[in-house]
Amino acid sequence: MSHGHSDPVQHPEVQMSSVRGYLSGFLISVLLMLAATYMSATHAFPPFGLLMVITVCAAIATIAQTYFLLHIDTAEHNIWNTVSLVLFIPLFVLTIGLTWWMFSQLYLHTMPAMTGMH
């Protein structure tokens, strides 16, 4: 260990956190969630548009949370966080991608006339 560990506040990972960071992460996610809930409750868009809008909200919230709350970035003193990012992205793409693929195939095979609805 290169840095002294008598004072945990001196740790670079602890230094990175700030009240402002946590608050912005929290507020952004709450606001996005409320907005998404409101839009689906009021049917603000046609179904497909709603799906897209909610997906975008979710994506922004995910990025805000990983950055502000989990401090996952590519900073050098934060090598293990970067490692988890590198691990996370393929997993994310795999699960979402394969799920999308299997369900689109499922709809294709089970309800050909209705594929457009989903």
Q: Give the range of 21-29, 58-66, 67-75, 106-114 binding other proteins by CB under 8 A.
A: 106-114
Q: Provide the minimum distance between the beta carbon of 84 and other proteins in the complex, in angstroms, as a whole number.
A: 9
98 interacts with other proteins by CB under 8 A: yes
- Tell me if 20 contacts other proteins by CB under 8 A: no
b vs e for 54-77, b when ≥16 Cβ sit within 10 Å of the residue's Cβ? beebeeebeebbbebbeebeeeee
Does 86 bind other proteins (CB under 8 A)? Our answer is no
Residue burial 109-118, b: 16+ Cβ < 10 Å; e: rest? eeeeeeeeee
Q: Are 40 and 51 in contact (CB under 8 A)?
A: no
Residues in touch with other proteins (CB under 8 A): 1, 5, 8, 14, 47, 80, 87-88, 91, 94-95, 98-99, 101-103, 105-106, 108-110
